[in-house]
């Protein structure tokens, strides 16, 4: 496993980082707690020592599951979590509604100093730790000045409650402004072969300013594994059913592209998913790729992506094929 520094901080991320969104259950159609814990154990055993979570993932459930999984292993892992999405307060900027099990929950972006300090304390308790390795602003709260948000992060750094400050889903301009106020170790944007808009400005800015980039959804929420068919039926509560990437016509187009990649995957004796992950972590400026796993076998398989020896020539072939597949631009 390869580990890369995040910005100028002392925090390193394993190039394959465990993404704990799905195990929280929210928006993913539920999860099995025992399998989730085994998946985290298998990840750690395979060298995936960075775990990324957030309070909003299952309203604290994901963080609590992570804490259970790393009990007795805290010195072996880097904990990345976030702040700024509140379901238990109406203060801040209204974001969206979650509708699950016949219940509607309104989510607000809140990056005010007082809220951040409170959220940090709550996450420390749920994660059963005395510090968070990387603390990230989940989404920009436009009702709060960045000065106030960064002031809170500076205080948490000074207090030793966090080791590095990061942002997520920020524009290049917002990252630049934040970085003038407090050292930003990393940004966490969505990025995949079929969603590449950060290549325009976010990736270049981060490369030029030594800021790490931890990308989420590198497999486009499973689409790039080749396991989805145009007539796929999603479980109730699974947010992917309404996503543009999962409409029948686009699934057909992606599967046709993946069929062209199969010979390369076979040459490297790997899966399509791992070939895609290796392409991702080889992109200039990308520090790590977040990958979820619901069970131990999946987690062990994901970790193998870091060990593939995919040449620059093979990457060029992939890029040539990708040029014929129009990406979906983030809204």
Dump pLDDT digits (tens) for 152-168. Answer: 999 999 999 999 999 99
46, pLDDT greater than 80: yes
Residue 108 above 80 pLDDT? Answer: yes
Average pLDDT of every residue of the chain? 92
Domain boundaries, the chain: 3-85+115-322
Structure tokens of 59? 């309203």
Active site residues: 57
For 16, 189, 211, the CA distances from 282, given in Å and listed in that order, are: 12, 16, 16
Residue 244 has pLDDT above 80, yes or no: no
Q: Which of 30-34, 170-174, 182-186, 203-207 is predicted least confidently? A: 30-34
At 65 the pLDDT is: 94
256, 265, 268, 270: which is closest to 321 by C-alpha? 256
**Average of pLDDT values for 282-290?**
97
Rg (CA), the chain: 19
The CA distance from 125 to 240, in Å, is 31
Average pLDDT rounded to a whole number, residues 277-295 = 95
pLDDT tens digits, one per residue of 182-229: 999 999 999 999 999 999 999 999 999 999 999 999 999 889 998 888
Looking at residue 33, what is its pLDDT? Answer: 87
What is the DSSP secondary-structure string of 46-64?
Answer: TT--EEE--TTTTTTHHHH
pLDDT of residue 32: 82
Residue 239 has pLDDT above 70, yes or no: no
Q: What percent of the chain has pLDDT over 70?
A: 95
Q: What is the DSSP letter of 216?
A: B
Any idea what DSSP says for residue 240?
A: G
Bigger pLDDT: 96 vs 122:
122
CATH architecture of 3-85+115-322: Alpha-Beta Barrel (3.20)
pLDDT band at 28, cuts 50/70/90?
very low
pLDDT at 255: 93
Q: Are the CB atoms for 225 and 270 separated by under 8 Å?
A: no
């Amino acid at each position: 496993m390869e580990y890369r520094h995040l910005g100028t901080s002392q925090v390193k991320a394993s190039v394959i980082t465990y993404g704990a969104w799905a195990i929280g259950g929210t928006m993913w159609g539920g999860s099995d707690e025992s399998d989730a814990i085994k998946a985290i154990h298998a990840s750690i055993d395979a060298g995936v020592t960075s775990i990324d979570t957030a309070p909003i993932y299952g309203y604290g459930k994901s963080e609590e599951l992570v804490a259970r999984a790393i009990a007795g292993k805290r010195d072996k892992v880097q904990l990345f979590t976030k702040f700024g999405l509140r379901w238990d307060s109406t203060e801040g900027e209204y974001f969206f509604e979650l509708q699950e099990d016949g219940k509607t929950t309104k989510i607000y972006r809140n990056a005010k100093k007082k809220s951040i300090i409170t959220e940090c304390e709550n996450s420390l308790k749920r994660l059963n730790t005395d510090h968070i390795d990387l603390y990230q602003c989940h989404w920009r709260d436009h009702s709060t000045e960045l000065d106030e948000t960064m002031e809170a992060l500076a205080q948490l750094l000074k207090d030793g409650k966090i080791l590095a400050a990061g942002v997520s889903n920020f524009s290049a301009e917002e990252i630049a402004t934040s970085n003038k106020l407090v050292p930003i170790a990393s940004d966490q944007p969505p990025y995949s072969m079929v969603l590449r808009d950060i290549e325009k400005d976010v990736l270049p800015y981060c490369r030029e300013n030594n800021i790490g980039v931890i990308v989420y959804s590198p497999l486009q929420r499973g689409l790039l594994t080749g396991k989805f068919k145009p007539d796929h039926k999603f479980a109730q509560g699974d947010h992917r059913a309404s996503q543009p990437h999962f409409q029948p016509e686009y699934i057909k187009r992606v599967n046709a592209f993946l069929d062209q990649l199969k010979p390369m995957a076979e040459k490297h004796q790997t899966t399509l998913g791992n070939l895609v992950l290796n392409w991702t972590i080889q992109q200039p400026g990308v520090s790590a790729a977040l990958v979820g796993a619901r069970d131990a076998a999946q987690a062990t398989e994901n970790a193998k992506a870091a060990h593939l020896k995919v040449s620059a020539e093979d990457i060029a072939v992939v890029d040539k094929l990708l040029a014929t597949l129009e990406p979906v631009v983030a809204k």
